[in-house]
């Protein structure tokens, strides 16, 4: 791609020197402090453990496992009476199966619930829970920043004529659009990683740091363990993929809607904030509808809560999320290749 390096450097320079980055840092600091105070309030209020169904029993006995098994069978029976559209959105079977297999695993390995830290939840007020609690909100802030930044970099520059000047240079169109995307991605994800590390440090210093293994469950069947540091790394990877998917959404809407900067930003933010709710509504109406937004949260497939759609699992969720990213990236490039410098 001719001129890619120069485009990337120029776009990075604009972002680093611009006021938008300063505003992002200020907003992130304020939100970070507020959420930390809120978590500390919950920590003082609830103590070490929140009451959740998965941690109801300190000791897992044979009777506990049997009750979980009977509950799972009952849920499966009741699930069969639901209509097709409701059944598609009901994850109660997944959750009941996950709890049963998790209890079974703990019983077979003689592990008490009081010593368990469950991955991807706030069932325990520990460092890992604090990270999940903070980043679930912070990630949305960075996603909004990424959407707005990449759209302004394309649609905004179409309006003010800057993009036309870039197209007149001996630089390939692919280099321009990929350079703009990478610059936005590097700055957005870079700032997010900084705050993620800050969250880890505050979590370790201020809240209970459980050095025992963290437990998770894949597709409601296979229990796996990892160290707290491994859980932190996996959580960071998840939020990187989450933010990346919305930056690519902004790139696609800017390529598709061209000069309609405000409309593209509004559409991107609406999809970010209520896209999964819209898909749930569509799911009830159109039987067999396969959601995309519902399955971006692939981290849920490693917890007791499960995915947003009953027929999904970790592998199909990751597959759909990847298809979302690749499809929009290719679509954006194809649309931009047809860009007319005279328009």
In which domain, by residue range, is 324 found? Answer: 4-50+135-213+227-337
Provide CB contacts within 8 A for 146, sequence distance 6+: 184, 185, 188, 243, 246, 247, 250
In the block, tokens 């990346």 appear at 244
Q: Taking the CA atoms of 44, 48, 53 and 56 in sequence, report the sign of the dihedral they define.
A: negative
In whole angstroms, give the CA distance from residue 89 to residue 94: 11
pLDDT category at 172 given cuts 50, 70, 90 is confident
The pLDDT of residue 49: 43
Token reading at 195: 């705050």
In whole angstroms, give the CA distance from residue 64 to residue 287: 36
Question: Would you say residue 190 has pLDDT above 50?
Answer: yes
Question: Would you say residue 300 has pLDDT above 50?
Answer: yes
The pLDDT of residue 214: 85
Across the chain, mean pLDDT equals: 86
Residue of higher predicted confidence among 169 and 99: 99
pLDDT digits (tens, 9 = 90+) for 23-53: 999 999 999 999 999 988 877 776 544 444 4
Question: Is 63 domain-assigned?
Answer: no
Question: Is 290 domain-assigned?
Answer: yes
Question: Is 126 domain-assigned?
Answer: no
Buried b (16+ CB within 10 A) or exposed e, 191-218: bbeebbebbbebbbeebbebeebbbbbe
Q: At what angle do helices 228-257 and 173-206 cross, to 10 degrees?
A: 150
Average pLDDT over every residue of 322-338: 92
Least trusted range by pLDDT, from 9-18, 67-76, 117-126, 278-287:
117-126
Average pLDDT over every residue of 297-313: 87
Token reading at 285: 């109406």
Average pLDDT over every residue of 193-199: 96
pLDDT category at 66 given cuts 50, 70, 90 is very high
The pLDDT of residue 1: 65
The pLDDT of residue 30: 96
Question: Is 154 domain-assigned?
Answer: yes
pLDDT category at 170 given cuts 50, 70, 90 is confident
Domain tally for the chain? 1
Average pLDDT over every residue of 128-156: 91
Q: For residues 135, 136, 137 and 143, what is the CA-based torsion angle, rounded to 10 degrees?
A: 90
pLDDT category at 56 given cuts 50, 70, 90 is very low
Q: What is the pTM of this model?
A: 0.89
Average pLDDT over every residue of 295-320: 88
pLDDT digits (tens, 9 = 90+) for 202-260: 988 888 776 678 889 999 999 999 888 888 899 999 999 999 999 999 999 999 888 88
Question: Is 155 domain-assigned?
Answer: yes
Question: Is 200 domain-assigned?
Answer: yes
In whole angstroms, give the CA distance from residue 300 to residue 313: 9
Question: Is 243 domain-assigned?
Answer: yes
Question: Is 231 domain-assigned?
Answer: yes
Question: Would you say residue 57 has pLDDT above 60?
Answer: no
């Amino acid at each position: 791609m001719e001129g890619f390096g120069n485009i990337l450097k120029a776009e990075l320079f604009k972002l680093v020197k611009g006021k938008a980055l300063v505003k992002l840092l200020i907003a992130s600091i304020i939100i970070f402090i507020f959420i930390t105070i809120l978590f500390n309030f919950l920590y003082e209020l609830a103590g070490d453990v929140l009451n959740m169904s998965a941690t109801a029993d300190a000791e897992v006995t044979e009777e506990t496992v049997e009750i979980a098994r009977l509950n799972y069978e009952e849920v499966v029976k009741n699930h069969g009476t639901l209509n097709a559209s409701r059944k598609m959105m009901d994850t109660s079977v997944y959750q009941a199966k996950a709890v049963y297999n998790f209890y079974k695993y703990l019983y077979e390995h003689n592990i008490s619930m009081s010593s368990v830290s469950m991955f991807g939840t706030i069932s325990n007020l520990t460092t890992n829970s604090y990270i999940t609690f903070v980043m679930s909100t912070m990630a949305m802030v960075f996603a909004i920043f990424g959407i707005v930044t990449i759209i302004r970099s394309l649609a905004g520059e179409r309006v003010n004529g800057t993009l036309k000047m870039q197209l007149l240079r001996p630089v390939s169109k692919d280099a321009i659009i990929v350079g703009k995307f990478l610059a936005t991605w590097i700055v957005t994800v870079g700032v997010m990683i900084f705050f993620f590390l800050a969250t880890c440090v505050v979590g370790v210093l201020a809240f209970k740091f459980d050095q025992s293994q963290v437990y998770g469950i894949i597709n409601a069947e296979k229990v796996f363990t990892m160290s707290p540091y491994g859980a932190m790394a996996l959580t960071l990877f998840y939020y990187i993929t989450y933010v990346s998917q919305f930056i690519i959404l902004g790139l696609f809407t800017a390529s598709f809607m061209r000069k309609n900067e405000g409309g593209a930003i509004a559409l991107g933010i609406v999809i970010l904030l209520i896209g999964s709710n819209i898909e749930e509504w569509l799911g009830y109406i159109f039987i067999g509808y396969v959601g995309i937004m519902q399955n971006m949260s692939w981290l849920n497939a490693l917890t007791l809560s499960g995915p947003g759609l009953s027929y999904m699992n970790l592998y199909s969720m990751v597959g759909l999320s990847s298809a979302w990213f690749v499809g929009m990236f290719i679509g954006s490039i194809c649309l931009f290749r047809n860009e007319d410098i005279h328009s």
